[in-house]
Amino acid sequence: MADAKERLSRLIDLAGETAPEKQRALAFELTELLMDWPARYPSDMREPFEALLEKVLKRLDGTSRRMIAARLAGHAGTAVALLNEFYFDVPEDARATILARNVDAEGPLGAPADAADEVRLIEAARRTRGRDLAGAFADFLRVPLAIAERILEDPSGNALAVACKGASVRRATYSALALLTVCELRINPGARFGHLLAYDQIPLDGARRLLAYWRQHGPEIAHGAQGACAA
């Protein structure tokens, strides 16, 4: 293991570089530091390093984001904000971990949807397709369009279930939306129907906090999600 001073010096040097390969190296160095946090470092020192990694993640290619996300998602010490940042980069089992961590996390809970808005959303799902449907869904959730698109296009169906649970929509509304979008968006029907059955088991507070995070940090997450998708 590198000497602590050498490690910090390398991080400072990399942080001043803007080349993609340097940013990638910085992200992996930060990941290693956070996963192997020195015992002599105070725990409150983690926050600035986590904030820096969160910032750097937005500049990475999708492959690098997914590699880092896979490592950090299974580490108990990873901050919830970092987990939420790469929700769209990890498989469904890791997403379940992210939801569970959000249940007891600090932070706001997403406000529930209005019943009249649910009716309008279902009408939009019946009449519109593609970007128009994503736009209606974005307005309903109060998230950026790019986030709504990623939610609707998630092939596992997990993101839609979580978003709807986070908005506290009625089960019937979620079921109708899931069925109306499964074919047009080429979602795996088996996965989507599985979430129809598991909807009630999604932790409400976890989903509400994740939705609140999407609302608050939507533009940055959308940028990172688009980069991951393009790689």
Give me the mean pLDDT over the 171-187 stretch.
78
* Residue 19 pLDDT > 70: yes
Burial tier of 8 (Cβ tally within 10 Å: 0-12, 13-18, 19+) = middle
Give me the mean pLDDT over the 174-183 stretch.
83
Q: In angstroms, rounded to a whole number, what is the distance separating the alpha carbons of residues 159 and 2? A: 40
pTM, entire model: 0.79
> 9: which 2 tokens?
């010096």
Give me the mean pLDDT over the 200-228 stretch.
78
Residues near 125 by Cβ (< 8 Å), separated by ≥ 6? 133, 136, 176, 177, 180, 181
- Position 220 scores a pLDDT of 63
Q: In angstroms, rounded to a whole number, what is the distance separating the alpha carbons of residues 199 and 49? A: 36
- Position 221 scores a pLDDT of 63
